[in-house]
Structure 1
């Protein structure tokens, strides 16, 4: 197993995690990942990158079963408007590709928010930094290592 940037950062900071590999098909959706991991979709989180009307990027981490509320997110981020970054810009912006985007170890440190549904969970899963790789980590450790703000960011 070749370590990803996300794993190297966690190792360097001595943060406990479990690395899980799964077979990859054409479907890189979060729902499919949860199914491959045999996990409840409330515990598997996706990392979404946005761009604001002021051309700033913000990162949002939300359970795969949920949808991001861009209006709530814009308000929390302190900008007028947010939209999802175009998939063609993801790699050059974050260093990660669609389906393998981790909140840990992006090329640039962006302001990051995680949905409050992570609270009171012993662990969650986030991308390990490549397709077919997930990291099982405590939300507290993820919040600490990535300097993440907990907020209500999902659609009701």
Structure 2
């Protein structure tokens, strides 16, 4: 949220009690949100050893072949959970595309353009942020692509 504040981006924060990580679908249900506009943040590593961030609707599964094609890699794989905190500064269940330790190429599923506002993790368990996609693009270098298993 500090990054959004510094950039002058208006957003809605949704903070809720959550003693442990919930699935994205559970978070959407808890907050009474359409799960198609609630996005999870996934971190991957390409064959080149570069890291990439993908945002997909919480009820969907990342298609690794489509994701690799979107970033020009031959293949990609999800990083191990234990690698997430040292790499991004975030824990599983609280990973946000904003404010990572390093800047990574970020791709959001093309369905995000269907909504006035999308929702994603605010960087810790129990915090969600809602912004227009264009405002997210002002603080994260984003591209869009078809990323999910269909």
- Once the 2 structures are TM-superposed, how far is the Cα of residue 10 of structure 1 from its aligned partner? 0.3
Match of 1:48 in 2: 42
Q: Which residue of 2 aligns with 1:79?
A: 73
User: 1: distance between equivalents of 2:108 and 2:85?
Assistant: 21
Corresponding residue for residue 120 of structure 1 = 114
**5+ residue gaps in structure 2?**
none
User: After the TM superposition, which of the residue ranges 19-28 and 7-16 deviates more from structure 2?
Assistant: 19-28
Aligned to 1:4: none
- Look up the match of 2:91: 97
Give the match for residue 150 of structure 1.
144
Deviation at 1:23, TM superposition (A): 1.9
What SS does the aligned partner of 1:146 have? coil
What is the count of residue pairs matched by the alignment? 150
Are residue 62 (structure 1) and residue 90 (structure 2) matched? no
Alpha-carbon offset, residue 108 of structure 1: 0.4
- Equivalent position SS for 2:98: coil
CA contact (8 A) 2:68 2:74 kept: yes
Cα shift at 1:25? 4.0
Specify the alignment match of 1:134 in structure 2: 128
Compute the TM-score of the two structures, normalised by the length of structure 2: 0.96
Report what 1:37 is aligned to. 31
Task: Extract unaligned runs of 5+ from structure 1.
Answer: 1-6
Give me the TM-score of the superposition, normalised by structure 1: 0.93
Indicate the SS of the match to 2:18.
coil
Root-mean-square deviation over aligned CA pairs:
1.0
Moved over 6 A (4+): none
Alpha-carbon distance in 2 for matches of 1:99, 1:45: 12
